[in-house]
Structure 1
Amino acid sequence: MFKEDYSIEKTAEILKLLGDKTRLTMLKILDKQTCCVCEFVEIFQVSQPSISQHLRKLKAAGLVSEERRGQWIFYSLHKANEYYPLIQQILLHLPNQEDKLLELEEKGTRVSCC
């Protein structure tokens, strides 16, 4: 399951990032859907700068990728990352988070930035 070329340092860095509940939940959501910052602001009820900081850390570690659509940036789980198999194994043990996106759709705030 684990690649022999994983470094202890990089693996520890990834696990430290995943030790944060918000970032871990973000990755679980991004495993199935792309999201923009404004959607995460609605889901977590925290400020845009706070969400952007979490995403910046995940992007710096190579765990998420971004795609610009007009003036908006959408994030997704970077499944080509060498650590994705490790991330995937962790995410398999987490509860489904799709209800958070469904709740946004019901409130009409899913992709409110677009």
Structure 2
Amino acid sequence: MHKPTLRKISRRLKAISDPTRIKILVLLSERPSCVCELTAALGLAQPTISRHLKQLENEGFIKGRRESNWIIYRISPVEECCSQLLDIVIVRAEQDPEVQEIKNHFISLNRAYVAGDSVVGVKEVVT
């Protein structure tokens, strides 16, 4: 794997300097997700989420893949230096009470429900 250039490192730092993009990374570290799930969890408009996803995808932090009716986004492998930075950002962000609340709400979401394909809104938790 080649070493990232200074320009590439700068772009990647810029990509993860936005609070919304950090929240998206936290949620995607929990599980791969579609735009509709991220929209429901963050309470933002679909075009806003899509724009943030595009920036993260352009810098190699995430990848999107079509699965049935959805494009599912997931964290993608990045160079070691960026991987370590991403880990630190996610761990620190998860300590924020607002982020923890968003993450808890996100965990309860059901893709089919938020996409309007089902009548069941939350996953049944089995204990």
Higher relative contact order (CA 8 A, sep 6+): 1
Contact kept in structure 2, 1:37 and 1:48, CA below 8 Å: yes
Normalising by structure 1, we get a TM-score of 0.79
| 2:59 paired residue number | 61
- Give the Cα–Cα distance (whole angstroms) in 2 for the partners of residues 99 and 68 of structure 1: 28
Gaps in structure 1 of 5+ consecutive residues: none
AA at the equivalent of 1:81:
V
Work out the percentage of aligned pairs sharing the same amino acid: 24
Quote the RMSD (CA, aligned, Å). 2.2
AA at the equivalent of 1:91:
I
- Give the Cα–Cα distance (whole angstroms) in 2 for the partners of residues 27 and 14 of structure 1: 13
Instruction: Find the residue that maps to 1:67 and give its secondary structure.
Output: strand
AA at the equivalent of 1:100:
I
* Equivalenced residues, count: 108
Contact kept in structure 1, 2:36 and 2:46, CA below 8 Å: yes
Contact kept in structure 1, 2:61 and 2:78, CA below 8 Å: yes
Whether 1:100 aligns to 2:97 is no
Instruction: Find the residue that maps to 1:75 and give its secondary structure.
Output: strand
CA-to-partner distance for each residue in 1:28-63, whole Å, 9 max, x for gaps? 111121111011111221211111111111111111
Query: Which of 39, 42, 48 does residue 41 from structure 1 map onto?
Result: 39
| 2:89 paired residue number | 90
Counterparts in 2 of 1:26 and 1:19: CA distance versus 1, 3 Å: same
Between stretches 92-101 and 18-27, larger displacement belongs to 92-101
Normalising by structure 2, we get a TM-score of 0.72
Counterparts in 2 of 1:105 and 1:61: CA distance versus 1, 3 Å: closer
Gaps in structure 2 of 5+ consecutive residues: 118-127
Counterparts in 2 of 1:13 and 1:105: CA distance versus 1, 3 Å: closer
- Higher Cα radius of gyration: 2
AA at the equivalent of 1:68:
R
| 2:24 paired residue number | 26
